[in-house]
Amino acid sequence: MRRLGVSLYPEHSTLAKDKEYLDLAHIFGYTRVFTSLLEITGNQDEVVNRFKQTIAYANQLGFVVMVDMNPRLFKQLGISYDDLSFFHDLGAWGVRLDEGFSGMEEARMTRNPYGLKIEINMSGGTHYLNSILDYSPEKNNLLGCHNFYPQRYTGLSRPFFNKWSKFFTDRNLNTAAFVSSQTASFGPWPVQDGLPTLEEDRDLPIAVQVKHLVLTGMINDVLIGNAYASETELKAAATAFFAKQLTYQVELTGDVSELERKIVLTDEHLYRGDQSAYLVRDTQPRTKYRDEAIPAHDNQGMIQPGDVIIVNSDYGQYKAELQIALQPLENDGRRNVVGHLVPSERLLLDYIRPWSTFKLIE
């Protein structure tokens, strides 16, 4: 089951604001909450009770709540890895281990009598998961989740993310990662420049970040790391996450014809299977619009990655084919550049696959 989630930090907010945020997220189909107990300051009982109130309300709305912990906090709260009743009483769905034990402890924790999920850190860059698997865990209760990175330029690189995400998916574990709201103002720490998993996602619109994680094919659950995302962002992230079909946003040129606009925006596009290094090709419009004239545009310049192209009548039987450029190429006048992907979405072209379908929206 794939879940979309938000994050709450009760120590830095109020119960009323948390409830309001959960109500809004619930409307858009969010079903998971991340929260952090990594820092407990002040009266410990009051802090725990505050978390319990937030979790209880989330549970009423059908959310599942994962609580972030580490071994130091286990010791501070007097919790043993073989007695997880504290988290059961808290109302949590599971425990995320920001830092782990030796492997044996985690395996034993997955066999807890409450069915609590044990989620381990996917961003450590070690084979720690194999140590847990050596101790025969209850795999249905073992999950993985990447870190988020408050400090700019410290988020994961794409190659590292791909390597360790695959490490978990190859072992058939549920995975999660974080995207960052551009309007949210806080997380678990005093300073943060957003809370994404991937550094290249940090400043992108939230819907693009969500599409990015989904298109990797290696992340089940997507979580907004910081609070509180705006209603607009919550809706945009949900639309991207639950979409049945990939969409790309395009900006059309001023000289695009009505027919070209129709080809770009009306039809579902099918990426031709014989893959080119230069172009995504949808050849279906060639049949549909074979009897239509598509005059060449004036001032045809160099084609750039992300440009949306309609082949014009000067290219014979290829007329009306829709293409998207993957790298720079010369234009001899037989291709009309009718628009381009919005800059924030161009990285998503790396994930489109032959024989997949997609829509272009203005």
Give the residues across from 172 on adjacent strands: none
pLDDT band at 42 (very low <50, low <70, confident <90, very high): low
| Domain 4-243 coded CATH 3.20.20.70 | yes
**Residue range 349-355: mean pLDDT, rounded:** 94
Superfamily of domain 248-361: Cyclophilin-like (2.40.100.10)
* Range 32-60 average pLDDT: 87
Instruction: Give the global pTM.
Output: 0.95
Does residue 38 surpass a pLDDT of 80? no
Per-residue pLDDT of 149-187, as tens digits, reads 999 999 999 999 999 999 999 999 999 999 999 999 999
Residue 330's Cβ-side half-sphere holds a number of Cα atoms within 13 Å equal to 1
Strand partners of residue 355:
none
Per-residue confidence at 72, pLDDT binned at 50, 70, 90? confident
With bands split at pLDDT 50, 70 and 90, how would you rate the model's confidence at 46? confident
Q: Report the DSSP pairing between strands 357-361 and 322-325.
A: unpaired
* Bridge partners (DSSP) listed for residue 58: none
Radius of gyration of the chain (CA): 24
Which helix (H) or strand (E) is 132 found in, with range? helix 128-133
What integer pLDDT is reported at residue 192 of this predicted model?
87
Tell me, what's the pLDDT at 185?
92
Strands 357-361 and 176-179: unpaired
Write out pLDDT tens, residues 248-272. Answer: 999 999 999 999 999 999 989 999 9
For residue 109, pLDDT over 80 is answered with: yes
35 has which bridge partners?
A: 8, 67
pLDDT range class, residue 40, cuts 50, 70, 90: low
Mean of the per-residue pLDDT values of the chain: 95
Helices and strands in the chain: count of H runs, count of E runs: 11, 15
Rounded mean pLDDT of 36-62? 87
Distances (CA, A) of 117 to 106, 107, 173, 260: 11, 11, 12, 52
The dihedrals phi and psi of 177, each to the nearest 5 degrees, come to -155, 170
pLDDT above 80 (res 303): yes
Handedness of CA 268, 273, 277, 281 (dihedral sign): negative
| Cα–Cα distances in angstroms (integers) from residue 212 to residues 78, 101, 265, 302, in the given order | 40, 32, 22, 28
Question: Exposed, middle or buried by CB within 10 Å (0-12, 13-18, 19+), for 130?
Answer: exposed
- What is the band of 142 on the pLDDT scale with cuts at 50, 70, 90? very high
Q: Where are the domains of the chain?
A: 4-243, 248-361
DSSP string, 32-49: EEEEE-S---S-HHHHHH
Higher pLDDT, 315 or 190: 315
Greater pLDDT, 299 or 202 = 202
Q: Tell me: the pLDDT tens digits for 229-250?
A: 999 999 999 999 999 999 999 9
- 28 CB-contact burial (10 Å; exposed 0-12 / middle 13-18 / buried 19+): middle
Picking from 276, 351, 346, 272, the residue whose alpha carbon sits closest to that of residue 308 is 346
The answer on pLDDT for 190 being more than 80 is no
Model pLDDT, residue 182: 97
Q: What is the pLDDT of residue 74?
A: 87
Question: H or E element: which one contains 269?
Answer: strand 269-270
Task: Give the full edge-to-edge strand order of the sheet including 307-311.
Answer: 269-270, 357-361, 246-252, 335-341, 307-311, 322-325, 279-282
- Give the residue, 189 or 312, on which the prediction is more confident: 312
